[in-house]
């Protein structure tokens, strides 16, 4: 284990924010890593959902090859959504390759990883894991060790279980879970030595969704972001202190974050275009208002009692919370017999064509498919904000524009990415295409493609500010730093320009030819116990 790697994931941290916090000495540990290594703005992938971005990160492949396109997948026989977990991933992750070459790998709190996989090292699942009562670790016995050594260990903070009146409680919980993440990382580094360790802080994403906008206002939470990231930097420093000089440290985010001013209600546009029809409006509105009222009342009661919503998971079935995560803010009251297209955020901020023969109640004939896609794309591209007279679209893509591979046909039909300052929403409960009133409350910031990448170690050039990197590039770069060949079907490239001149030739491994890929696959199958 002479050359080791520690990857610290900071979910949702925009590179411009990281640079500002470093410049203001709010994050001195990140500043030291930047000065002693390389840093740059890293382009994330689309759609900008953590389940997709982190899966792209660990595979080095686009979603058309790994098969994850959003937090949810739709049942092929119904319109019900189910959470997309690691079983939906169709491609090997970086730990399969590293294990095949004798490298131990540890993974903690990587989103959308449940259930845990057999691995030479360890794996702790995080976001979207059913509950702490599930088997969320490999090896299985690691769960008991964690619960014994980390007081009040928690899996995740649910952003859905929140309201505009519960920000104080959520802020307190963000700090608590960040501390537990750090304790867990230190415990694992001392107890389960690995060639590669990866620790993800998802609380950064929650913090920025909720409080980033307050940085530039005079609200009661002005300064909350700076205070939290100063705290986080100290925690990162505790992890770095446990790493020796042979360890290369990666600071990585899966996407960035910026405040939005307006919400674009995509389904209201489809209603206007005659491509979507809702249920009886009065019945839908009554159902929505009743659900929202009950939800708000419960949240306000918990806030007054200073009780986290997670507390009730001890008493209520997990199915209740899963359904609550889906129905709140989701205006799925569509008349399928008259709906030709619909927008669903859970599928990756995408528009789905209600295609006959593919969707459960599809009505669009295959020969009209391209016509409807073109009509929708042209319409959204033409839309301008009436207050600025500027277009709102960063890019509106057909799935084949973004993805290549065996699973492109599993992707939603149109992917929507709006410019900074706008967020898409699927509800049809509010009037109009644009609305400053948001069903996102208390979320006031949305994802951007500007991710953060900082790499520091003896094999990395010092003081380098680089651009042009992509989230696809991390996996092949990690492999090369450890002298492991990069599979030729990876879409990313090795970031050779930031590797030290003295060592880069030996670390930049070539892609594999077909015979080498076959030998590697045999090694992987043996390592996973699937071939003797």
pLDDT at 318 over 60: no
For position 515, what pLDDT does the model report? 55
Nearest one of 430, 289, 159, 332 to 297, comparing CA atoms? 289
What residue spans of 254-317 are helical by DSSP H? Answer: 266-272, 281-304
For position 93, what pLDDT does the model report? 96
Count of C-beta atoms within a 10 Å radius of residue 417: 19
Nearest one of 46, 36, 322, 375 to 158, comparing CA atoms? 322
Count of C-beta atoms within a 10 Å radius of residue 524: 17
Count of C-beta atoms within a 10 Å radius of residue 220: 10
In whole angstroms, what is the distance from residue 249 CA to residue 527 CA? 26
For position 400, what pLDDT does the model report? 95
User: Dihedral angle at the C-alpha atoms of 478, 124, 310, 150, nearest 10 degrees?
Assistant: -110
* Banded pLDDT at 157 (limits 50, 70, 90): confident
User: 345 near 283, Cβ under 8 Å?
Assistant: no
For position 80, what pLDDT does the model report? 67
For position 331, what pLDDT does the model report? 39
pLDDT at 300 over 60: no
* Banded pLDDT at 70 (limits 50, 70, 90): confident
Nearest one of 421, 364, 365 to 391, comparing CA atoms? 421
Q: Is the dihedral of CA 356, 359, 360, 363 positive or negative?
A: negative
Question: What DSSP designation does 218 have?
Answer: -
Q: Which residues of 237-258 are buried (b: 16+ CB within 10 A; e: fewer)?
A: eebbeebeeebbbbbbbbbbbb
Q: Strands 341-344, 350-353: parallel, antiparallel or unpaired by DSSP?
A: antiparallel
pLDDT at 440 over 90: no
For position 310, what pLDDT does the model report? 52
pLDDT (tens digit per residue) in 493-502: 999 999 987 6
In whole angstroms, what is the distance from residue 379 CA to residue 406 CA? 30
pLDDT at 285 over 70: no
* E strands, 313-384, in order: 341-344, 350-353
To the question of pTM greater than 0.75 for the whole model, the response is: yes
For position 20, what pLDDT does the model report? 97
pLDDT (tens digit per residue) in 108-121: 999 888 899 999 99
pLDDT (tens digit per residue) in 465-494: 998 899 999 999 999 999 999 998 999 999
């Amino acid at each position: 284990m002479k050359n080791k790697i520690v990857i610290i994931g900071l979910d949702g941290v925009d590179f411009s924010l990281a640079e500002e916090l470093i410049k203001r000495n709010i994050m001195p540990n990140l500043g030291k890593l930047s000065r002693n290594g390389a840093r740059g703005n890293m382009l994330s992938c689309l759609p900008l959902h953590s389940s997709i971005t982190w899966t792209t990160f660990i595979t080095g492949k686009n979603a058309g090859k790994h098969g994850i396109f959003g937090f949810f997948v739709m049942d092929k026989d119904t319109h019900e959504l189910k959470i997309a977990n690691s079983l939906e991933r169709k491609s090997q992750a970086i730990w399969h390759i590293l294990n095949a070459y004798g490298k131990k790998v540890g993974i903690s709190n990587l989103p959308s990883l449940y259930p845990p996989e057999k691995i030479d090292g360890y794996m702790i699942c995080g976001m979207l894991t059913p509950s702490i009562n599930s088997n969320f670790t490999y090896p299985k016995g690691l769960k008991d060790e964690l619960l014994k050594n980390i007081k009040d260990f928690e899996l995740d903070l649910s952003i859905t279980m929140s309201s505009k009146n519960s920000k104080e409680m959520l802020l307190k919980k963000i700090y608590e879970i960040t501390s537990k993440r750090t304790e867990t990382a230190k415990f694992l580094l001392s107890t389960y030595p690995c060639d590669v360790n990866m620790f993800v802080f998802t609380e950064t994403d929650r913090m920025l969704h909720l409080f980033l906008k307050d940085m530039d206002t005079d609200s009661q939470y002005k300064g909350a972001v700076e205070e939290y990231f100063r705290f986080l930097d100290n925690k990162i420093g505790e992890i770095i202190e446990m790493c020796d000089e042979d360890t290369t440290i990666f600071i990585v985010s899966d996407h960035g974050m910026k405040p939005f001013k307006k919400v674009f209600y995509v389904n209201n546009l489809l209603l206007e275009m005659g491509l979507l029809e809702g249920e009886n409006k009065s019945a839908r509105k009554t159902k929505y208002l009743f659900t929202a009222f009950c939800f708000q009342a419960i949240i306000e009661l918990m806030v007054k009692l200073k009780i986290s919503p997670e507390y009730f998971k001890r008493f209520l079935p997990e199915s209740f919370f899963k359904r609550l995560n889906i129905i709140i803010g989701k205006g799925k009251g569509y008349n399928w017999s008259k709906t030709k297209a619909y927008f669903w955020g859970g599928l990756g901020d995408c528009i789905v064509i209600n295609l006959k023969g593919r969707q459960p109640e599809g009505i669009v004939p295959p020969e009209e498919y391209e016509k409807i896609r073109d009509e929708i794309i042209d319409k959204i591209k033409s839309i301008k904000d009436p207050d600025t007279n500027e277009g709102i679209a960063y890019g509106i893509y057909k799935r084949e524009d973004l993805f290549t591979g065996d699973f492109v046909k599993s992707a939603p039909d149109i992917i929507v990415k709006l410019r900074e300052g706008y967020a898409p929403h699927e509800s049809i409960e509010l009037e109009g295409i644009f609305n400053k009133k948001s069903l996102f409350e208390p979320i006031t910031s949305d994802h951007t493609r500007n991710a953060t990448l900082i790499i520091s170690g003896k094999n990395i050039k010092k003081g380098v500010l680089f651009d042009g990197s992509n989230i696809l590039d991390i996996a092949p770069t990690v492999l090369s730093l450890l002298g492991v060949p990069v599979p030729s079907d990876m879409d990313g490239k090795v970031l050779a320009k930031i590797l030290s001149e003295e060592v880069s030739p030996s670390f930049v491994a070539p892609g594999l030819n077909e015979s080498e890929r076959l030998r590697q696959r045999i090694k992987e199958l043996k390592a996973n116990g699937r071939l003797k």
